């Protein structure tokens, strides 16, 4: 029995939206109040306004926005705030995500009248609204005297009211209260003329990881039963004869709370996946309710560090959005977010839902200030890479709470903040670029990096290579790979593992321990047509149940790549080096040492390691019109970055992928018009100035000046728009 042959009725594998229509599905989802029953109770039984997959209404332009919390301030401030918003060019606000107690101060006493009045004022001033469901901050009455409704961490500590995300979303009473307030919001503002979109909750799993409450563990047992069908299949899949772990019933399977040593890897990874499915189902249920009353598109505000499955959650969203608070010297981070969430919903623009206008901060910390000019560069890069909105957290500095040091567009005392003039400058640039951005869209890319949410869970359970000298962090390593693609001059996507490979010529897939049969066969067909796949490190090391392959070191990948994985071992502090085309770099972490064993496979880069002499660090196998390139370990340091950049550039040329020659720290956002004209937005992001090589004569899209082939120089944080 192979891992892929186990029955998987878990909702992570299909749309929860599609099955909510049946009464049986409501029971399966553990929803005490379905969208249908809620509508019937209110006497509104009209068909869904916004079924998933239906054509979406067009969005209304290029947005410049801020998070707004009018409930925190006297009503007399609202008109004043709106006046300053108009001055700065803010044309959209997001609100409601933390206001449950304002909407429902006592259980059952719900009114959205206050927010409708605020939206009326905003709409009259030409300012649109993204309205959020307030389920991130349940009010005190929901948990007072009911600790069983609260989130419990892996140490058994029960969270208490006072911050956010402190309830168990698996608890039936919590769910019932959530569905009730979501329906009230949808009915109250779902057809408001100022509404342009919905945000479900906010930053799922921002402050917590997996829930270990009794309610969550009970749902874990049901999830296992749906996934495996019988306890015998679970025992077989997980190899539970080890340490006498064999189970007799699903409700005997523990959640991975504290145990004397460590839990079975299969169990730990499965619980991570269950938790992520649960979050997605919670979001899907809210979306279903909203779609009964509103045609406005729905999103969620993501951040890459949170314990969710981005791919699964994006399935049933209408557009993607994210927050990013990186300081200016970490500008690659926001580019990576743009590249991931642009590709998450093909054909739909993404939103930058939160960024700081000057600096980030909370009670225990604050980050460095943006240098003068950086905010404009950041905004132009985001708009150029496909953002439809660039929004700040927040409009007015908090006067209470735990984020007092965080920057805002205006201060707590209602005056322009230190970032105010930068916001006004962003608006000036937005208006200048608006005709160009509306006339073009991001050009299709030919290179991509695979983002595997499933792989991320495996590497949380087993961060291969971790010791005192080397700690593997999925997001940090993916960020390093993404930076290498930029340095190699490649316009790029980060694509989820189950999305299409159409249009790609080069695909890079590191850090994906389990490679499904479906993914491998899809990549094989793509390679045979001419694609080049760079695979590894740490890709293919485990089965789908987080066990070690027993047919070959990397399972079926060995045959696919035409190699034998001879050894699998840590090379940290072993003096190991990898070589590629005259470059050599130290290796660290976990290594797979190869020997080509197919006539079409050969060693491209040698591994130097006294414990594993004469083996390969990089191999290449020709397959059809393309090639499979295996990378056995992660090169480290500046030498490692140079080696990987050269590797990517070499295979980009071999694949025929488009490359753009720029100096480090200068970004090009290629765009294309409906009639095929090419527009480059070129932005210096590092504040040191830079150059880009124009491959042919062009025209400055703003001034009309003719530009010659060759080097175009940019000053510190300067941007240029060039028709080629």
Check residue 467 and give its pLDDT: 73
Q: Determine what percent of the chain is predicted with pLDDT higher than 70.
A: 91
CA atoms within 13 A on the CB side of 253: 26
Q: CA-to-CA distance for 536 and 633, rounded, in angstroms?
A: 7
Per the CB < 8 A criterion, the answer to whether 14 and 246 are in contact is: no
Which residue out of 97, 183, 203, 388 is catalytically annotated? 203
Which residue out of 225, 354, 579, 620 is catalytically annotated? 354
Which spans in 470-621 are helix H?
474-487, 517-528, 556-561
Please state the rounded mean pLDDT for residues 62-72: 97
Q: CA-to-CA distance for 700 and 318, rounded, in angstroms?
A: 35
Tell me the CA distances in angstroms from 351 to 176, 286, 382, 445, one per residue in order: 30, 20, 9, 19
Q: CA-to-CA distance for 520 and 506, rounded, in angstroms?
A: 15
**Token representation of residue 633:** 């370990």
Residue 432: exposure state from Cβ atoms within 10 A (0-12, 13-18, ≥19):
middle
Check residue 689 and give its pLDDT: 98
Per the CB < 8 A criterion, the answer to whether 276 and 312 are in contact is: yes
- Rounded to 10 deg, the angle between the 113-124 and 172-189 helix axes is 40
Note the pLDDT tens digit of each residue in 437-490: 999 999 999 999 999 999 999 999 999 876 766 778 999 999 999 999 999 999
Note the pLDDT tens digit of each residue in 9-52: 333 333 333 323 332 232 233 333 333 333 333 333 333 344 44
pLDDT > 60? residue 167: yes
203 in catalytic set: yes
354 in catalytic set: yes
pLDDT > 70? residue 561: yes
Average pLDDT over the chain reads 91
Query: CA torsion, points 337, 343, 348, 354, in degrees to nearest 10?
Result: -10
**Whose CA is closest to 265, among 452, 459, 454, 472?**
459
**Which phi and psi (to 5°) does residue 702 adopt?**
-100, -40
Note the pLDDT tens digit of each residue in 228-287: 999 999 999 999 999 999 999 999 999 999 999 999 999 999 999 999 999 999 999 999
CA–chain centroid gap for 661, Å, is 28
**Token representation of residue 577:** 């080096």
Check residue 155 and give its pLDDT: 93
- DSSP annotation of 193: T
- DSSP annotation of 488: T
Check residue 471 and give its pLDDT: 75
Structure-model confidence comparison of residues 32 and 336, the more confident one: 336
- DSSP annotation of 48: P
Domains recognised in the chain with CATH numbers: 67-212+265-437 (3.20.20.80), 447-655 (3.40.50.880), 666-723 (2.60.40.1180)
Structure-model confidence comparison of residues 470 and 129, the more confident one: 129
Helix H or strand E segment including 338: helix 332-344
pLDDT > 60? residue 374: yes
- Rounded to 10 deg, the angle between the 265-291 and 453-461 helix axes is 140
| 3-class SS of residue 568 | strand
Residue 59 pLDDT grade (very low, low, confident, very high; cuts 50, 70, 90):
low
CA triple 339-340-345, angle to 5 deg: 105
* β-pairing verdict for 698-700 and 387-392: unpaired
Give me the residues paired with residue 616 across strands. Answer: 594, 606
**Token representation of residue 477:** 């390593």
Check residue 141 and give its pLDDT: 98
């Amino acid at each position: 029995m192979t891992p892929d042959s186990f029955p998987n009725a878990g909702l992570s594998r299909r749309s929860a939206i599609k099955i909510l229509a049946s009464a049986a599905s409501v029971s399966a989802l553990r929803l005490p109040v379905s969208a249908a029953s809620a509508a019937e109770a209110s006497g509104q039984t009209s068909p869904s306004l916004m079924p998933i997959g239906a054509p979406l209404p067009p969005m209304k332009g290029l947005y410049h926005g801020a998070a707004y919390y009018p409930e925190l301030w006297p009503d007399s401030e609202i008109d004043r705030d709106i006046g300053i918003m108009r001055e700065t060019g803010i044309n959209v606000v997001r609100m409601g995500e933390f206001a449950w107690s304002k909407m429902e101060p006592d259980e059952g006493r719900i009114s959205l009248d206050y927010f409708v009045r605020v939206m009326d004022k905003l709409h009259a001033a030409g300012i649109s609204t993204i309205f959020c469901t307030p389920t991130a901050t349940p009010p005190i009455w929901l948990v007072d005297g009911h600790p069983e409704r609260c989130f419990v961490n892996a140490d058994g500590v029960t969270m208490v009211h006072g911050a956010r995300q402190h309830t168990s979303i698996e608890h039936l009473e919590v769910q019932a209260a959530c569905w009730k307030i979501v329906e009230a919001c949808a009915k109250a503002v779902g057809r408001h003329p100022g509404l342009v979109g919905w945000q479900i909750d906010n930053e799922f799993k921002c402050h917590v990881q997996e829930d270990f409450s009794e309610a969550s563990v009970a749902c874990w047992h049901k999830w296992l039963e749906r996934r495996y069908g019988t306890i015998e299949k679970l025992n077989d899949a997980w190899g539970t004869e080890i340490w006498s772990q064999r189970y007799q019933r699903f409700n005997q399977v523990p959640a991975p709370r504290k145990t004397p040593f460590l839990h079975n890897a299969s169990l730990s990874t499965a619980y991570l996946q269950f938790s992520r499915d649960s979050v997605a189902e919670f979001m899907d249920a809210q979306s279903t309710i909203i779609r009964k009353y509103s045609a406005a598109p729905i999103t969620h505000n993501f951040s890459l560090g949170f314990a969710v499955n981005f791919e699964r959650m994006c399935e049933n969203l209408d557009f993607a959005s994210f927050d990013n608070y990186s300081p200016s010297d970490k500008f690659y981070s926001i580019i990576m977010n743009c590249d991931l969430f642009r590709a998450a919903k093909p054909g739909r623009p993404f939103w930058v839902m939160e960024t700081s206008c000057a600096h980030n901060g909370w009670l225990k910390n604050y980050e460095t200030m943006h240098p003068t000019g950086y905010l404009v560069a950041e905004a132009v890069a985001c708009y150029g890479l496909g953002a439809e909105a660039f929004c700040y957290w927040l409009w007015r500095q908090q006067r209470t709470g735990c984020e007092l040091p965080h920057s805002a567009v205006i201060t707590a005392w209602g005056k322009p903040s230190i970032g105010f003039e930068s916001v006004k400058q962003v608006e000036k640039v937005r208006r200048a670029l608006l005709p160009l951005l509306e006339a073009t869209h991001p050009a299709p890319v030919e290179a991509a990096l695979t983002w595997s949410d499933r792989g991320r869970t495996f590497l949380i359970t087993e961060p291969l290579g971790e010791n005192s000298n080397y700690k593997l962090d999925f997001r940090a390593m993916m960020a390093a790979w993404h930076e290498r693609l930029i340095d190699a001059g490649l316009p790029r996507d980060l694509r989820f593992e189950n999305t299409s490979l159409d249009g790609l010529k080069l695909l890079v897939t590191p850090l994906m321990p389990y490679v499904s049969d479906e993914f491998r066969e899809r990549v094989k067909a793509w390679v045979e047509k001419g694609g080049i796949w760079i695979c590894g490190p740490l890709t293919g090391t485990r089965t789908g149940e987080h066990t070690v392959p027993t047919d070959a070191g990397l399972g079926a990948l060995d045959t696919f790549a035409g190699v034998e994985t001879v050894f699998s071992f840590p090379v940290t502090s072993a003096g190991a080096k990898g070589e590629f085309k005259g470059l050599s770099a130290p290796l660290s972490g976990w290594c797979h040492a190869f020997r080509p064993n197919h006539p079409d496979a050969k060693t491209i880069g040698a591994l130097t390691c006294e414990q594993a002499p004469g083996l390969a660090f990089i191999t290449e196998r020709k397959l059809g019109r393309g090639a499979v390139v295996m990378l056995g370990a992660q090169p480290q340091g500046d030498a490692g970055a140079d080696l990987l950049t050269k590797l990517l550039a070499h295979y980009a040329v071999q694949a025929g992928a488009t490359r753009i020659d720029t100096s480090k720290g200068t970004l090009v956002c290629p765009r294309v018009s409906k009639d095929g004209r090419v527009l480059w937005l070129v932005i210096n992001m590092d504040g040191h100035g830079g150059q880009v090589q124009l491959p042919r004569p062009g025209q400055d899209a703003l001034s009309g000046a003719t530009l010659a082939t060759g080097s175009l120089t940019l000053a510190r944080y300067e941007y240029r728009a060039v028709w080629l």
